[in-house]
Amino acid sequence: DQQVKQNSPSLSVQEGRISILNCDYTNSMFDYFLWYKKYPAEGPTFLISISSIKDKNEDGRFTVFLNKSAKHLSLHIVPSQPGDSAVYFCAARPSGNTPLVFGKGTRLSVIA
Amino acid sequence: GAVVSQHPSRVICKSGTSVKIECRSLDFQATTMFWYRQFPKQSLMLMATSNEGSKATYEQGVEKDKFLINHASLTLSTLTVTSAHPEDSSFYICSARRAGGLGETQYFGPGTRLLVL
């Protein structure tokens, strides 16, 4: 049973436009959500996170939105750049010292 | 930022040999470290959670006698793949959770590509 779902395996966006990556979760006990970016043959790089007590967190071109009632979060990248092309993983953490639960990732391609 | 290193970055070995992968948190103390495995075009699969000074907790289906984990200090965890076989070939990634502070964010190492011939 997959607790964190990224239903779009891939997304293509033109350079300069907005990229929106979506993530759904089923466990209402998750209290912290993160987005990671991963290039091939490299470890994931932490991008941005949000606590369950917030509905928005912004860092430069990256904004994460959380809708707890819908159990949905999204990552917005604007403007999108070719260097943003990578696989993006959504992750969630139940309260306590437990491992993150990852989605399967969405491959973003930003076309120049 | 928080930096996690892994060594080696790539290893090729013969079937039957053991391989040790080191994971270090370079600029912070990590009470908890995690080991993941990633197959091509697949998500990260958690193998085990290790806490400094105690035995690792393995995920279901992961053989603890095959994948030995030692978390000897707050900055070092090692994964030893014993008697490696070709099916163990994969991309192994460690992750460390910073002690204190927010403590929620896991920082990942660059990964180790293991190829067993």
Instruction: Please determine, for residue B99, whether its predicted confidence score (pLDDT) is greater than 70.
Output: no
Closest CA to B43 of A57, A49, A6, A51: A6
Distance (Å, rounded) from C-alpha A52 to C-alpha A39?
A: 27
Give the one of B32, B44, B110 whose C-beta lies nearest to A97's C-beta. B32
Q: CB-based burial of residue A4 (10 Å sphere; 0-12 exposed, 13-18 middle, 19+ buried)? A: buried
Q: How confident is the model at residue A25 (pLDDT cuts 50, 70, 90)?
A: very high
Please report which confidence band the pLDDT of residue B100 belongs to, taking 50, 70 and 90 as the band edges: low
Q: Please report which confidence band the pLDDT of residue A72 belongs to, taking 50, 70 and 90 as the band edges.
A: very high
Alpha carbon distance A28, A7 (integer Å): 19
What span, in angstroms and rounded, lies between the C-alpha atoms of A77 and A4?
20
Q: In the numeric block, which tokens belong to residue A107?
A: 């491959």
Q: Is the pLDDT of residue B109 over 80?
A: yes
Interface of A with B (CB under 8 A): 32, 34, 36, 41-46, 49, 89, 91, 93, 97, 99-100, 102-105
What are the pLDDT digits (tens) for B9-39? 999 999 999 999 999 999 888 888 999 999 8
Is residue B67 a contact partner of residue B78, using CB atoms and an 8 Å limit? no
pLDDT at residue A48 is higher than 70:
yes
- Taking all residues of chain B, what is their mean pLDDT, rounded to a whole number? 89
Positions of E strands within B43-100: 44-51, 57-58, 67-73, 76-81, 90-98
In the predicted model, is pLDDT for residue A41 greater than 60?
yes
Nearest CA in chain B to A46: B107
